[in-house]
Structure 1
Amino acid sequence: MEKQQSKDPLHGVTLKTILEQLEAHFGFDTLGELVKIKCFNENPSIKSSLTFLRKTDWARKQVEELYISNYTKFTS
C-alpha cells in the first residue's frame, strides 16, 4: 500500500518556516501592507511576529492564506 501524500500546502510546514519564507520574499514592509498587524509594521522581527501569531488565530489565518496563495513561489 502506498502512502497518500497530503495536498495541504501547510502540511508539515511550521509557522516559523512560513514566516521566514514570507519575510524573505516580501520583506516586513510589504507584509505589513498585505496583513495589517502591528508586529509587521512596528519594530518587526521573526520572534515577535511568531509570539503574536501563535496567540492570535485571525492573524495567523491571514498569514497562512498569504503563504498558500504564494505557495508555488516557495516550492519551486
Structure 2
Amino acid sequence: MAEGSWHASAAAWAAERQIVNGCGHGQFGPNDPITREQLAVVLMAYAEYRGNDVKRRAEVAQMLRNFVELTAQA
C-alpha cells in the first residue's frame, strides 16, 4: 500500500490487530468491492478485537445493528 494514501493508516491499524489481512501478498484493495462474507469476517474480527464474546451471536447481532444505525447517521 502506498504510504500516505487515503487508506494507509486505517489499513495498517487493522492489519496490525489482525482485523484484516488484505487481498494477498500483503496487498490491499481499498477500492475493490467487498462481499457480505468478507464484511462479516472483518466485523467479527473487530468484535473479537474489542473483547466481545463472538460465540454469543445475539449480542454480536445487536452490535452489528448498532453499527449499521450509526453508519447510516454519518
Shorter-chain TM-score range: 0.3 to 0.5
Q: Which has the higher helix share?
A: 1
**Structure-2-length-normalised TM-score:** 0.32
Task: Point out which structure has higher relative CO (alpha carbons under 8 A, 6+ apart).
Answer: 1
